Chain A
Amino acid sequence: MIKLNVNGKPHQLDVAPDTPLLWALRDTLQMTGTKYGCGQALCGACTVHVDGTPMRACTTPVSAVVGRKITTIEAIDANHVGKVVQEAWRKLDVVQCGYCQSGQIMSAVALLSQNRKPSDADIDDAMSGNLCRCATYVRVRAAIHEAAKALA
């Protein structure tokens, strides 16, 4: 049994220790907001927070996150920055297909939690691991600035 703390709740999972956190979240806990895109930490669709730091759940085995605080998109609105980021995303209608957007938002929240006034370069750095095939990048950048304004 693997013990995980996800969004403040304890869970016991009967999965192999090498199971990526992504599939434990999705298939075992059926928390499907975190997405599979590449399986190799190349696209960022699976981004979650582990102790507040963005991590790619597809290459993080569950054994590595036992006892750590895991946060997913499903609970990001419990965090003030998370709520503000979601609101900015909705105000600017950032999403298109939406599949990568959980990951985009998780990376954006991590950035704004560390840096309340990111420059374009800061945004490009922090968001460079999150692919969007619809290329919503113009609005991702604008929404992060929008959220930064709201947080100021």
Chain B
Amino acid sequence: MSEIIIENLSRRRFLQGGAGLTLGFCLPVMAAAAAGKSGVTVAPSASFEPNAFLRIGADNSVTVMSKHLEMGQGTYTGLATILADELDADWAHVRVEGAAADAKRYNNTFWGPTQGTGGSTAMANSWDQMRKAGAAGRAMLVSAAAKRWKVSEADIVVRDSVVSHAASGRKASFGELALDAANETVPAEVKLKDPKDFRLIGKQAKRKDSAAKTNGTAQFTQDVFLSGMLVAVVAHPPLFGATVKSFDATKAKAIKGVVDVVQIPQGVAVLATDTWSAKKGRDALAVTWDESKAFKLGSDEILARYKEMARKPGLIAKQTGDADKAFAGAAKVVSAAFDFPYLAHAAMEPMNCVVHLKADGCELWNGEQFQTVDQGRVAALFNLKPEQVKINMLYAGGSFGRRASTQSDYVMEAAHIVKAINGKAPVKLVWLREDDMRAGYYRPLFHHALEAALDGDGKLVGWRHRLVGQSIMAGSPFESMMIKDGVDHVSVEGASNLPYAIPNLTVDLHTPTDIPVPVLWWRSVGSSHTAYSTEVFLDQVAAAMGKDPVALRLELLGAHPRHAGVLKLAAEKANWGTPLKAAAGERRGRGVAVHESFNSFVAQVAEVTIKKDGSIKVDRIICAVDCGTAINPDNIRSQVEGAVGFALSAALSGEITLNEGRVVQGNFDGYPLLRIGDMPAVEVHIVPSTSAPTGIGEPGVPPLAPAVANAIAAATGKFLHRMPFNTAELVA
């Protein structure tokens, strides 16, 4: 195995054209295969290609390759923190580069042979990988120093990118040792640090992207310029399922700067030398659409259908005990139904992509969240092999799930435009805000119906939860993995794994298949609606039982200590149970919710003021988080603060509405996002933990809306059953 690795290292060094150490390590399966072939000295086949995460330059720079997209969630910093800690690198010398699109080296270890970012998996799936990569680098530097100084490795100390030997007084920087270390054997086994020796993990490692993102130099897809590049703005169909019947480009082509107008499967693209000319050209196009097969229902009609479907049982997602029997013998039944609209991700950077078709392949520039999927589709379109599609990883100006498109929608739109012009120029596809908001790929509209049965002693003995909504996974590359017996796991996540000890429980699901509105994961996916219905309904049940919401939850969470842990911590920090003062004419309330998503546990207590006119002001959110080992506590706080604001937008105003099939909202006037004046104070408390780290990009979202709704109910007695909230119900 060692010869193979050395061969690779020297080749990589040559390819990079610079002096230094590039470290790779094999995936376990590859290591095993390699071990059986010791002594092989020929250049290895593709399957022996090492998985490279680290480069140490002779200039002492430490470069960490991030296989994951940085879309704001702090992944570049987090991955580098893990590796740099085990390497004992000086944080100031560490920089991060987006890795290539190459599933062989950079797959998400939770997703099999697929590279991509999502499901709050970046830290969790990389934890061991990045630790080992750092530790192996450290071991090779130590070994190189021991040989150079003829001392024992055991007497060598590494700290802040300096390797030293106390007895002889020798010292060398990483840069000084890099070339020697490159000739060392990659250790098959590495010793990882005892967590008590962490110097960066759990401490305050500053973000690596703060400087570039505060001086305008951070590179987003929108900022790419290539020689001869054209900008494309597209006329998209006004309805889902409509197609181009005919178009007249005469006026568009008369606009200065417009170079070409081409039809693509997604609409009609106007190509120009600059964005403004392309937009003017697009606006000057006369397109006649064939709407004969288009979807023409409105949100109200969709919801009415869903309510009708909810009258009958769906496919079973979870069954415990005998709910029918429990309800038949119930002394009291509590019921409620909940409605959730379509939601747009509305990342600040509208979707965009740069595609350049070359003689020997294709090159993409993108805030790339789904490398393997996009690479495969683009390769197929151009009749290339996936590895001939190079993806340059850029920062994404937000995503919230949108850039991990199951259908590669915007990436393929850009590729189709390049195909339509026979690759004569590189193309930057620019979606204007309206294109982005009306393109679909929404959080699906959902209807939930819940019932709870209380027995003669007032105990909660039965729970029925029925959900109706489109499947995200149907038709996606994950369909076979995520849909079991007709039940899409992400439609019911958060409901089917309800943590409360209720002896008789049934969760069932209807998945309409005749609604062609494209749907997609939206920050926290199924939990974006299931946390709301379950946690608000539980408060309604608590009210019917005459119990305190925190006390009831704790009673029912005996088997779930991590839920109980965050719940207790949030309640304690919020002084749960003490009165809240309200000004004259105002009502104030405190509400709580707890939810697990992506293996992380978050509880939130909301303090809310309700005015006479029904308007609400969320004053403060107290959060408790258990996401295992806290790699970067400040980033965890930052993510949870942001999740609170993101979720509050949805609670207060988030709604995409269809009217006769047309998306009503097009920009931030119709789809308002939370502004600074409505942002509550946020406190984040992190539960100390030595468990492996889990995600934090999404888990802060689900508990927010139910905590706020429960606070409103505490103050007004009214439980809100739809998102966004209808504050007219709260007029005093």
- The answer to whether B679 touches A97 (Cβ under 8 A) is no
Cα–Cα, bound, A90→B210 (Å):
6
Interface bits A26-65 vs B (CB < 8 Å: 1, else 0):
1110111111111110110100000000000000000000
Name the residue on A nearest B641 (C-beta).
Answer: A138
| Known interface pairs A27-B275, A138-B681; A133-B215 also in contact (CB < 8 Å) | no
Shortest beta-carbon distance from A104 to chain B in Å: 9
Residue in B73, B432, B645 whose beta carbon sits within 8 Å of that of A135 in the complex? B645
Known A32-B223, A40-B669: A86·B215 in contact at CB below 8 Å: yes
B73 touches A96 (CB 8 A): yes
- B668 adjacent to A131 (CB under 8 Å): yes
Q: How far is the CB of A140 from chain B (nearest CB, A)?
A: 6
Excluding A136-B641, A138-B682, 11 further A-B contacts by CB distance (< 8 Å) are A34-B216, A37-B349, A89-B210, A94-B214, A97-B349, A124-B676, A133-B398, A133-B673, A134-B398, A135-B674, A141-B679
Contact with B along A91-122 (1 / 0, CB 8 A): 00111111111100100000000000000000
Bound CA–CA A90/B207 (angstroms): 8
A19 touches B276 (CB 8 A): yes
Assuming the contacts A97-B397, A98-B72, asked whether A123 and B214 have C-beta atoms less than 8 A apart, the reply is no
Known contacts A93-B638, A97-B398; is-contact A30 B225 (Cβ 8 Å): yes
CA A20 – CA B649 in complex, angstroms?
A: 29
Q: Count how many chain A residues have C-beta atoms less than 8 Å from C-beta atoms of the other chain.
A: 58
User: B276 and A136: CB pair below 8 A?
Assistant: no
Asked if B646 lies at the interface with its beta carbon under 8 angstroms from chain A, I say: yes
CA distance A135 to B220 in the complex (A): 19
Residues of chain A within 8 A of B396, CB atoms compared: 97
Chain B residues with CB under 8 Å of A74's CB are 215-216
Question: What distance in Å separates the Cβ of A115 from its nearest Cβ neighbour in chain B?
Answer: 16
Say yes or no: B642 contacts A136, CB within 8 Å: yes
B318 interfacial contact with A, CB 8 Å? no
Contact A100–B348 (Cβ < 8 Å): yes
Within 8 A of B (CB), among A51-83: 72-74, 76-77
A139 CB within 8 Å of chain B: yes
* Interchain CB contact (< 8 A) of B679 among A93, A99, A102, A135: A135
20 A-B residue pairings within 8 Å (CB atoms): A23-B274, A27-B231, A32-B220, A35-B220, A36-B350, A43-B668, A72-B216, A89-B210, A90-B214, A96-B638, A97-B395, A97-B397, A98-B214, A101-B214, A123-B676, A131-B668, A133-B398, A133-B400, A135-B648, A139-B641
Task: Please encode chain B, from 429 to 453, with 1 for each CB lying within 8 Å of some chain A CB and 0 for all others.
Answer: 0101100000000000000000000
Query: Given A98-B213, A134-B72, A135-B646: A128 and B677 within 8 A (CB)?
Result: yes
C-alpha spacing A30/B274, complex, angstroms: 11
Q: For residue B392, give the distance in angstroms from its CB to the closest CB of chain A.
A: 15
- Whether A16 is near chain B, meaning CB under 8 Å from some CB there, is yes
A35-B397, A96-B74, A98-B209 known; A40 and B676 CB under 8 Å?
Answer: no
Does the CB pair B210–A95 fall under 8 Å?
A: yes
Assembly CA distance A106 to B214 (angstroms): 10
Q: Tell me whether B349 and A35 are in contact (CB under 8 A).
A: yes
Write out, one digit per residue, whether chain A residues 126-152 have a CB within 8 A of any chain B CB (1) or not (0). Answer: 011011111111111100000000000
Q: Name the B residues within 8 Å of A105 (CB-CB).
A: 214
Shortest Cβ gap from B94 to chain A (Å): 15
- State in angstroms the CA–CA spacing of A100 and B346 once bound together: 13
**Which residues of B sit under 8 angstroms from A27, Cβ to Cβ?**
231, 274-276
Tell me if B501 counts as interface (CB < 8 A to partner A). Answer: no
Q: CA–CA, A30 to B398, complex, Å?
A: 22
Chain B 550-565 against A: per-residue CB contact (8 Å), 1 yes, 0 no?
Answer: 0000000000000000
B69 to A: closest C-beta gap in Å: 10
Q: Which residues of B contact A (CB under 8 A)?
A: 71-74, 206-207, 209-220, 222-223, 225, 231, 256, 274-276, 346-350, 395-400, 430, 432-433, 634-635, 638-639, 641-646, 648-649, 667-669, 673-677, 679, 681-682
Assembly CA distance A123 to B433 (angstroms):
27
Minimum Cβ distance to chain A for residue B505 (Å): 35
Contact A131 B673 (CB under 8 A): yes
A15 to B648, CA, bound (A): 42
Q: Who on chain B is nearest to A131 by CB?
A: B673
Say yes or no: A77-B677 contact (C-beta < 8 A), given A23-B275, A27-B274, A96-B74: no
**Are A28 and B677 in contact, CB atoms less than 8 angstroms apart?**
no
CA gap between A34 and B276 in the complex, in Å: 15
**Chain B residues with CB under 8 A of A140:** 676
Give CA–CA (A90, B676) in the complex, Å. Answer: 19
Among the interface residues B74, B433, B646, B669, which one has the most CB atoms of the partner chain A within 10 A? B433
| Of B74, B215, B274, B275, most A-chain CB atoms within 10 Å | B215
CA distance A22 to B673 in the complex (A): 22
The smallest beta-carbon distance between A21 and chain B, in angstroms, is: 11
A33–B638 CB distance below 8 A: no
Distance of A95 Cα from B215 Cα, bound (Å): 11
Across the interface, A124 reaches (CB within 8 A) one of B211, B222, B669, B677, namely B677
User: How far apart sit A98 and B217, CA to CA, in the bound complex (Å)?
Assistant: 11
Complex Cα–Cα for A43 and B210 (A): 21
CB < 8 Å neighbour of A133 from B206, B217, B348: B348
Q: Are B225 and A38 neighbours in the complex by a CB distance under 8 Å? A: no
B274 contacts A137, C-beta separation under 8 Å: no
> How close is A43's CB to chain B, nearest CB, in angstroms?
6
Closest 5 CB pairs of A and B: A33-B216, A135-B645, A99-B397, A98-B213, A97-B72
| A4 → chain B closest CB, angstroms | 15
Q: Which residues of A contact B209 (CB under 8 A)?
A: 95, 98
Give chain B nearest CB distance to A119 CB in angstroms. 12
Interface residues of A in 1-31 (CB under 8 A from B): 15-16, 19-20, 23, 26-28, 30-31
Do residues A90 and B211 form an inter-chain contact, with CB atoms below 8 A?
yes
For the complex, give the distance between the alpha carbons of A124 and B634 in Å: 24
The answer to whether A95 and B213 touch across the interface, beta carbons within 8 angstroms, is yes
Candidates B207, B646, B667; contact of A95 at CB < 8 Å: B207
Q: Name the one of B256, B641, B682 contacting A16, with C-beta atoms under 8 angstroms.
A: B256
Bound form: Cα–Cα A133–B676 in Å: 11
List residues of chain A with CB within 8 A of the CB of B649: 135
Bound-complex Cα distance A73 to B212 (A): 11
A40 to chain B, nearest CB (A): 6
Q: Which residues of the other chain, A, contact B644 by a CB distance below 8 angstroms?
A: 135
- Report how far A74 CA is from B648 CA in the complex, Å: 33
Cα distance A86–B213 when bound, in Å? 10
- Separation in Å of the A144 CB from the closest CB of chain B? 10
Q: If the complex has contacts A96-B72, A138-B682, are A132 and B348 also in contact, measured as CB distance less than 8 A?
A: yes
A127 and B218 contact, CB distance less than 8 A: no
When chains A and B are docked, how far (Å) is the Cα of A42 from the Cα of B643? 22
Once A93-B210, A135-B641 are accepted as A-B contacts, the answer to whether A127 and B72 lie under 8 Å apart by CB is no
CA distance A43 to B679 in the complex (A): 16
Chain A residues, CB < 8 A from B395: 97-98
Task: Determine if A39 and B677 form an interchain contact, defined as CB atoms under 8 angstroms apart.
Answer: no
Closest to B204 in A: A93
Contact partners of B350 in chain A: CB under 8 A: 36-37
CA gap between A23 and B641 in the complex, in Å:
33
Q: Which of A40, A102, A132 has the most CB of B within 10 A?
A: A132
Residues of A within 8 A of B430 (CB): 36
Q: Are B213 and A135 in contact (CB under 8 A)?
A: no
Which A residues are CB-close (under 8 A) to B681?
138
Q: CA–CA, A105 to B645, complex, Å?
A: 19
Tell me, rounded to whole Å, the shortest Cβ–Cβ distance linking A7 to chain B.
Answer: 11
Q: How far is the CB of A17 from chain B (nearest CB, A)?
A: 11
The CA-CA distance from A6 to B223 in the complex, in Å, is: 18
